[in-house]
Amino acid sequence: MQPIQGLHHITAVASDAQANVDFYVGVLGQRLIKTTVNFDDPGTYHLYYGDHTGTPGTALTFFPWRNMHRGRVGTGETSAMAYAIPTSALSWWMDRLLDLRIETSGPEKRFGESVLRFADPDGIVVELVATDNPATIVHWEEGPIPAAHALRGFHSVTLLLREVAPTAAVLVEHMGYEFVAREGNRFRYKGASNDRGLYVDIVQVPDTGRGAFGAGSIHHIAFRTVDDEEQLEYLASLRAAGLQVTPVQDRQYFHSIYFREPGGVLFEVATDEPGFTLDETVEELGTSLKLPAWYEAQRPQIEARLPVIERKTYTDNDV
């Protein structure tokens, strides 16, 4: 099996579906590429955002649980997610977020790159990393962000942990990541590629308390594997390393295995295939509620429980 190439997707928790859509589509210019339900709780949406086609390494997904209490950031979780933007787009994004009255911090330098930080409506830390490293995406031309300034998929995630070594061993020895740099208490690991979603940062905070799950928490991070065969190799290898890995789960648009790394963060290894065009054309992506076959008979009841999402046409200044 080949080493992990990078991130496949990130899944987080929101409280309000409409506010979530307005932010990630209207503010950040991501396309809503799939509207479905949480397969374990079909009374809740599962919303997927990404580039025009949902390229692996661009997909961010949310469970918007209504009236859920706000989570608390702490150790044992992913504390921030970062998108790549062109270096030339940094000032444009600073002006845009200021115009939209979104409070930012930075830009600060991290491993030689400028990082701008802000929060989504539920408090999730979102970072924009200005970089000229290559990123293969399919720009959503109908979105509110011009191609020259658009997000270029994920840059990295930050794990907040008490210890570095046990998690680093999983990344390096069992997933093919490479340690590349350290700045203070931040340690950076790189996937075996030169494209999207390459980096996992571990920030060591031995005296910080555990995080509390809720709205604004990142539920898990998923890593790319090419196909079912390679995923099964990872399943066997990770179990042989003593990790408690789930059987393969059918997530309709990819297949998944899950395990908690030693620091407590939930990891997933997901297949690139079959992809988001399994049940919609590229043009149709995200425009209607898609249900797996085993829930189709319950469609009327499921639709009655879900809040209505207003499908807006966003412009660069209309959020």
Rounded (to 5) percent helix, strand, coil in the chain:
20, 40, 40
- The answer to whether residue 318 scores a pLDDT higher than 50 is no
Do β-strands 254-260 and 104-110 pair in parallel, antiparallel, or remain unpaired? unpaired
Q: Is 54 a member of any domain?
A: yes
Answer yes or no: is pLDDT of 316 > 80.
Answer: no
17 part of a folded domain: yes
CA atoms within 13 A on the CB side of 34: 27
- Looking at residue 314, its pLDDT comes to 77
314 found inside a domain: no
Domain residues for the domain of 151 are: 7-305
Beginning with the edge strand found earlier in the chain, give each strand of the sheet holding 31-38 in spatial order.
Answer: 31-38, 41-50, 59-64, 7-14, 218-225, 266-274, 254-260, 249-250
- With cut-offs at 50, 70 and 90, classify the pLDDT of residue 319: very low
In a domain, 30, yes or no: yes
Contacting residues for 229 by C-beta, under 8 A, at least 6 apart: none
Count of structural domains within the chain:
1
31 in helix, strand or coil? strand
Indicate whether 308 pLDDT > 90.
Answer: yes
> Is 144 part of a structural domain of the chain?
yes
CA 254 – CA 275 distance, rounded (Å) = 6
Cis peptide before 107 (omega within 30 of 0): yes
**pLDDT confidence tier of residue 134, bands split at 50, 70 and 90:** confident
Cβ within 8 Å of residue 38, ≥6 positions away? 44, 45, 46, 63
Phi-psi map region of 123: left, alpha, beta (phi>0 left; psi -120 to 50 alpha): left
Query: Does residue 319 sit within a domain?
Result: no
Asked if residue 172 is part of any domain, the answer here is yes
Per the model's pLDDT, the better-predicted residue between 128 and 226 turns out to be: 128
pLDDT in tens, 237-285: 999 999 999 999 999 999 999 999 999 999 999 999 999 999 999 999 9
3-class SS at 77? strand
* pLDDT above 90: percentage of residues in the chain: 90
> Residue 317: what pLDDT?
52
158: which strand partners?
80, 201
Q: For 135-193, write each residue's pLDDT tens digit.
A: 899 999 999 999 999 999 999 999 999 999 999 999 999 999 999 999 999 999 999 98
- Model pLDDT, residue 110: 97
Binned at pLDDT 50, 70 and 90, residue 128 comes out as very high
Of 29-33, 81-85, 122-126, 194-198, the least confident: 194-198
Beta-sheet pairing, 178-183 with 218-225? unpaired
Q: pLDDT tens, 58-83?
A: 999 999 998 899 999 999 999 999 99
Q: Is residue 167 part of a domain?
A: yes
Is the sign of the CA dihedral 18, 22, 28, 33 positive or negative? positive
DSSP letters for 98-138: HHTT--EEEEEEETTEEEEEEE-TT--EEEEEE--S-----
Residue 89 in this model has a pLDDT that exceeds 60: yes
Q: Give 188-231 pLDDT, tens digit per residue.
A: 999 998 889 999 999 999 988 998 999 999 999 999 998 999 99
Strand, coil or helix: 73: coil
Sequence-separated contacts (24+) of 299-306 with Cβ below 8 Å: 302/37, 302/42, 302/43, 305/43, 306/37, 306/43, 306/44, 306/45
Residues 283-308 have a mean pLDDT of 95
CATH number at residue 225: 3.10.180.10
* pTM of structure: 0.94
